[in-house]
């Protein structure tokens, strides 16, 4: 019995001292996932249309995680050996064909950069709002950070990493950049839930490009403004673009797709990433 008690105490201490230990109230990822309880939030996400995606340069891989089973990802490797990595994090739908297609597109634009779209849902891909809510809310903090830690090990100790994500993945793009430490060279977050903890933001080793939708009810201009204030307090650097569009405006498979805003945002993101990978 004493051995069991000691084990539990040690386990709790390990979790509490980890870089991702946050109270439920302070955890922006849980805050975003909790939004799925609201029907108005779910209705904000129309089911994306199917696309005819055929892999050209990428393939699925597995990589080990420090806790739990191996994780999955869609890897588009650089043509020449490179220590440059773009980590792509999917929307609340999961690692679907749209995200894989986006990974291939970014790979073609950036040149000599490995692009890895990671699967935060362990193989689950939603086809309905209800499934997306279930998968997003079912992702534990421990599993998410274990996957990110596995990515960090997989890319190697000398990797130079930028992150990009949308919606659910926008928030996780920021969290991953924090976790990657000195490997992180840049972070692009599309309409994702920002981190509010100043101490955690101080751990960022890179600047952040934030692309947001001013018509959105949830990650609204007030939330974005608070993020800018918090980054300033943390002595971090963030550049924010607010587009006159709604949530998911950058997803061409979404009925909310806004081509003008999406194309402008893409150019901004691509220029940012290109400079980071010079």
Give the CATH number, domain containing residue 183: 3.40.50.1820
Q: Residue 272: inside a domain, yes or no? A: yes
Q: Which domain holds residue 189?
A: 24-48+60-276
Q: Residue 16: inside a domain, yes or no? A: no
pLDDT band at 252 (very low <50, low <70, confident <90, very high): confident
Q: Residue 5: inside a domain, yes or no? A: no
Q: Residue 15: inside a domain, yes or no? A: no
Q: Residue 13: inside a domain, yes or no? A: no
Cβ pair 210, 238 in contact under 8 A: yes
Averaged pLDDT, 65-76: 98
| CA pair distance 140, 27, nearest whole angstrom | 12
pLDDT band at 40 (very low <50, low <70, confident <90, very high): low
Cβ pair 240, 271 in contact under 8 A: no
pLDDT at position 34 is 82
| CA pair distance 104, 109, nearest whole angstrom | 9
pLDDT at 180 > cutoff 60: yes
Least confident segment among 21-30, 104-113, 196-205: 21-30
pLDDT at 215 > cutoff 60: yes
Q: Residue 12: inside a domain, yes or no? A: no
Residue with tokens 């809310």: 137
Looking at residue 182, what DSSP letter applies? G
Cβ pair 49, 62 in contact under 8 A: no
Specify the higher pLDDT residue, 4 or 164.
Answer: 164
Residue by residue, DSSP assigns 1-15 as -HHHHHHHHHHHHHH
pLDDT at 26 > cutoff 80: no
pLDDT at position 237 is 98
Cβ pair 226, 205 in contact under 8 A: no
- Catalogue the E-assigned strands of 136-243: 160-166, 184-190, 208-213, 238-243
Averaged pLDDT, 202-226: 96
Averaged pLDDT, 139-149: 97
Q: Residue 266: inside a domain, yes or no? A: yes
Distance between first and last Cα of the chain: 57
User: ∠ CA(256), CA(260), CA(266), 5° rounding?
Assistant: 95
Q: Residue 256: inside a domain, yes or no? A: yes
**C-alpha to C-alpha distances, 82 to 79, 114, 161, nearest whole angstrom:** 8, 7, 11
Specify the higher pLDDT residue, 52 or 272.
Answer: 272
Tokens of 136: 């997003």
Tokens of 67: 């806790």
pLDDT at 199 > cutoff 60: yes
Number of domains in the chain: 1
Tokens of 149: 């830690």
Dihedral sign for Cα 27, 28, 33, 39, please: positive
pTM score of the predicted model: 0.89
CA atoms within 13 A on the CB side of 156: 9
Q: What's the pLDDT tens digit per position in 87-142?
A: 999 999 999 999 999 999 999 999 999 999 999 999 999 999 999 999 999 999 99
Averaged pLDDT, 5-27: 42
Averaged pLDDT, 76-89: 97
CA atoms within 13 A on the CB side of 231: 22
């Amino acid at each position: 019995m004493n051995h069991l008690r000691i084990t539990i105490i040690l386990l709790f201490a390990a979790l509490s001292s980890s870089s991702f230990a946050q109270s439920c109230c302070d955890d922006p990822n849980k805050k975003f996932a909790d939004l799925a309880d609201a029907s108005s939030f779910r209705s904000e996400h129309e089911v994306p249309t199917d696309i005819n995606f055929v892999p050209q340069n990428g393939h699925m891989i597995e990589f080990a995680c420090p806790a739990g089973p191996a994780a999955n990802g869609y890897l588009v490797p650089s043509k020449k050996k490179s220590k440059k990595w773009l980590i792509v994090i999917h929307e609340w739908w999961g690692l679907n064909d749209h995200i894989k297609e986006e990974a291939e597109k970014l790979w073609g634009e950036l040149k000599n950069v490995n692009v890895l779209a990671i699967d935060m849902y362990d193989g689950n891909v939603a086809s309905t709002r209800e499934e997306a809510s279930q998968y997003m809310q079912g992702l534990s903090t421990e599993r998410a950070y274990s996957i990110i830690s596995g990515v960090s090990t997989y890319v190697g100790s000398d990797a130079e990493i930028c992150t990009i994500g949308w919606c659910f993945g926008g928030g996780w793009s920021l969290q991953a950049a924090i976790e990657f430490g000195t490997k992180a060279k840049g972070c692009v977050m599309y309409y994702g839930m920002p981190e509010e903890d100043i101490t955690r933001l101080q751990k960022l080793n890179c600047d952040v490009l934030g692309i947001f939708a001013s018509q959105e009810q949830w990650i609204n201009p007030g939330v974005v403004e608070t993020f800018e204030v918090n980054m300033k307090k943390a002595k971090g650097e963030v550049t924010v673009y607010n587009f006159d569009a709604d949530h998911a405006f950058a997803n061409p498979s979404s009925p909310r797709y806004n081509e003008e805003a999406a194309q402008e945002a893409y150019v901004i993101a691509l220029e940012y990433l290109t400079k980071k990978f010079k």
